[in-house]
Each structure stands twice: as structure tokens, then as C-alpha cells.
Amino acid sequence: MAMVVWRSVKCQMCQRVGEEVTLQARLAYPIDYLPGRAPRVLGYRCSRGSSCNTYDKAACVWAGTLPTYDPFAT
């Protein structure tokens, strides 16, 4: 059976909430008899995404409310 975990991608300052946030990716690792395959990315989230979603405006792709805006893309 595949193993699904949340892994930290990076920590960065968020201007919207005014503090450092942890950006995470949900990864699915393949089962044991398929070694050498890369994990599949199932989704993304921010450690402050739930509090960011309480504001009146849509936030970003990491909070799950605005899929076209990524404030951390460089």
C-alpha cells in the first residue's frame, strides 16, 4: 500500500499574515515493489492557510482559495 505524508517544502515570510509560514506538499510514495520511482505530489498547503482563509479576500494557491496566485513563486 502506498504511504501518503505531508512534507515541508520551505519556510518563508508571508506578507498577508505578517509572519513566517511553512509550505508543505502532500506526497504519495509508491509501494515497496516499485522501487526507484519518485513520489507523486497530491496537493499543497500552508501552515497558516486556515487563518488566512478567514479574511474577506481570496488568499493564494497554498491556502486553497485562489489557484492562479502564488505569492511565493520566484
Name the residue ranges covered by the structural domains of the chain: 1-74
- 36 conformational bin, left if phi > 0, alpha if psi -120 to 50, beta if neither: left
The predicted model gives 20-36 an average pLDDT of: 85
**Would you say how long the chain is, in residues?**
74
Q: What is the pTM of this model?
A: 0.73
With contact defined as beta carbons under 8 Å apart, do 52 and 63 qualify?
yes
pLDDT band at 74 (very low <50, low <70, confident <90, very high): low
